[in-house]
Amino acid sequence: MVNIRSKGEIDRIGKSGRVVFDTLNLLENYIVPGSTGEELNRLAEEYIRSQGYVPAFNGYMGYPATLCVSINDAVVHGIPDRRQFRDGDIVSIDCGVVKDGYYGDSARTFAVGEVSEEVEKLLDVTEKSLYRGIEKAVVGNHVSDIGHSIQEYVEEFGFSIVRELVGHGIGTELHEEPQIPNFGEPGRGTILKEGMCLAIEPMVNLGLKEIYTKPDGWTICTKDGKPSAHFEHTVVVTSDEARILSNGTLDG
Ligand code: MF3
Ligand code: CO
């Protein structure tokens, strides 16, 4: 079953989305050579708690941190550690928060200093593919229209879509129905209705789509060792356009 959220609930999800947005903006200032995932994780936790919110990932299925910090060939779910970022790295930061049971979730990939032209393109295309997907999150569309649109856009540039990890409904749980693959045929799956809240999150590899999980049990990496990017927003379906709840456009 896919939840339909009331105006009051959307407001709460939006407030959590707002805190995630502000957290990512804060962290952006520290995406420089020499910073570490551990430092970012500490800053994020402090900030989130100072706003009266709680980090949503810590403890989720045993995940051990506030943020996921995934460097270069790490696609998602990297555990923050003491490695220093270097010029030319890319760092994907995924953040979720909860307050009074309502969740927000968003991710961005940042460049550390100067990155190569093809990596720059990877970030640009991945972010734009998220917006291609968000455009399809309108009443009457099928859930698979989102992923179809993302895939079509990404593959045009010769990049590849990760298949094993998907977006998700969000609201009173971090992960709710429906699953939102970032690939596939249009016109399949749940028909979108006003008030559905979705976390759309393309993961795009510069090289081949295949991935593996590191021995830490969490970090997902590309098999070919090439970089991967991840952008995510929490949105609510409306009749004319999806409203983004994690981009700071909401009062909160
Ligand atoms: N933002 C991730 C997602 O959308 C959540 C990280 S999973 C966790 O699925 F276990 F690390 F929390
Ligand atoms: Co998510």
The verdict on the CB of residue 60 being under 6 Å from ligand 1 is yes
Distance (Å, rounded) from C-alpha 189 to C-alpha 204?
22
Distance (Å, rounded) from C-alpha 68 to C-alpha 244?
21
- CA 93 to ligand 2 center in whole angstroms: 11
At residue 68, the 3 state secondary structure works out as: strand
The verdict on the CB of residue 68 being under 6 Å from ligand 1 is yes
Distance (Å, rounded) from C-alpha 220 to C-alpha 225?
11
Burial class (CB in 10 A: 0-12, 13-18, 19+), 10: buried
Structure tokens at 175: 């992960």
Which one of 20, 76, 95 would you pick to mutate in the ligand 1 pocket, going by the greatest count of ligand atoms within 8 A of its CB? 76
Which one of 105, 162, 203 would you pick to mutate in the ligand 1 pocket, going by the greatest count of ligand atoms within 8 A of its CB? 105
Residue 252: is its pLDDT beyond 90? no
The verdict on the CB of residue 96 being under 6 Å from ligand 1 is yes
- Closest residue by Cα to atom 8, ligand 1, is 57
Distance (Å, rounded) from C-alpha 36 to C-alpha 42?
10
* Banded model confidence at residue 251, pLDDT cuts 50, 70, 90: low
Non-local (6+) Cβ contacts of 21 within 8 A are: 106, 246, 247, 248
Strands 211-213 and 167-169: unpaired
Ligand at minimal distance from the CA of 63 is 1
Over residues 20-44, the mean pLDDT reads 98
pLDDT tens track for 109-138: 999 999 999 999 999 999 999 999 999 999
**pLDDT given for residue 145 in this prediction:** 98
Question: In degrees rounded to 5, what are phi and psi of residue 48?
Answer: -60, -45
At residue 101, the 3 state secondary structure works out as: coil
Distance (Å, rounded) from C-alpha 80 to C-alpha 93?
10
Per-chain mean pLDDT for the chain: 97
The verdict on the CB of residue 57 being under 6 Å from ligand 1 is yes
Contact by Cβ (8 Å): 165, 145: no
Distance (Å, rounded) from C-alpha 230 to C-alpha 21?
15
Non-local (6+) Cβ contacts of 139 within 8 A are: 192, 193, 194, 237, 238, 239
- CA 62 to ligand 2 center in whole angstroms: 16
Strands 160-161 and 176-180: unpaired
Over residues 14-43, the mean pLDDT reads 98
* Banded model confidence at residue 239, pLDDT cuts 50, 70, 90: confident
How many C-beta atoms surround the C-beta of residue 38 within 10 A? Answer: 16
**pLDDT given for residue 203 in this prediction:** 99
* Banded model confidence at residue 94, pLDDT cuts 50, 70, 90: very high
Residues of the chain with pLDDT > 90: what percent?
97
* Banded model confidence at residue 102, pLDDT cuts 50, 70, 90: very high
pLDDT tens track for 183-195: 999 999 999 999 9
